[in-house]
Amino acid sequence: MLTDTTATPEPATATPAAACCPDGSAAPEPQLPPEPRLDLPAPEVGDAVAAAALLADRTRAGIVRMLGEGPHCVCELAAALGEKQNNVSMHLARLREAGLVRAVRHSGDARWMFYERDDERCSAAAQTLAELLR
């Protein structure tokens, strides 16, 4: 009869790095509530979700970033982003509806429309996202 001579490995008992303090002592146990709190209010995250969803698109994020450098026309944005002009126009419309971008006519030739970023509204959106992540 054959017998198994291989030993089974013992479970590791090393303390995870997150549970140690810099001086090598054990971190204090976190204070947990004695009972589940089922009456907590849900946080208001609608504005942050809307801003995140709007900027989650690569083209829209690129547009917002480029407009931070100054006004651009659709043809400039489309060329830089490697997109078709009608696609960029559609994304600009969404950004305008949200108030992050505004359109202005060229002062010398009214046929040209330039887009610029509304820095005040973009700052408000950034603040909303920052509050969500703090």
Confidence at residue 99, expressed as pLDDT on a 0 to 100 scale = 96
113 in any annotated domain: yes
Q: What's the whole-model pTM score?
A: 0.71
Q: Are 96 and 102 in contact (CB under 8 A)?
A: yes
Start-to-end C-alpha separation, the chain: 64
Higher pLDDT, 60 or 2: 60
Higher pLDDT, 131 or 1: 131
In angstroms, the CA 87 to CA 131 distance is 32
83 in any annotated domain: yes
Confidence at residue 3, expressed as pLDDT on a 0 to 100 scale = 55
In angstroms, the CA 71 to CA 83 distance is 18
74 in any annotated domain: yes
Q: Taking phi first (over 0 means left), then psi (-120 to 50 degrees means alpha), and beta for anything else, what does residue 99 get?
A: left
With b for 16 or more beta-carbon neighbours within 10 A and e for fewer, the 84-112 pattern comes to eeeebeebbeebeebebbeeeeeeeeeee
37 in any annotated domain: no
Higher pLDDT, 117 or 17: 117
In angstroms, the CA 58 to CA 55 distance is 7
Expressed as residue numbers, the domain containing 89 is: 46-133
List the CATH number of the domain containing 74. Answer: 1.10.10.10
Higher pLDDT, 7 or 112: 112
Average of per-residue pLDDT values in the chain:
87
* Phi, psi for 47 (deg, rounded to 5): -65, -40
Number of domain units in the chain: 1
Confidence at residue 10, expressed as pLDDT on a 0 to 100 scale = 56
- Over pLDDT 70: what percentage of the chain? 84
Return the closest-CA partner of residue 74 out of 98, 93, 55: 93
86 in any annotated domain: yes
101 in any annotated domain: yes
Instruction: Give residue-wise pLDDT tens across range 42-99.
Output: 999 999 999 999 999 999 999 999 999 999 999 999 999 999 999 999 999 999 999 9
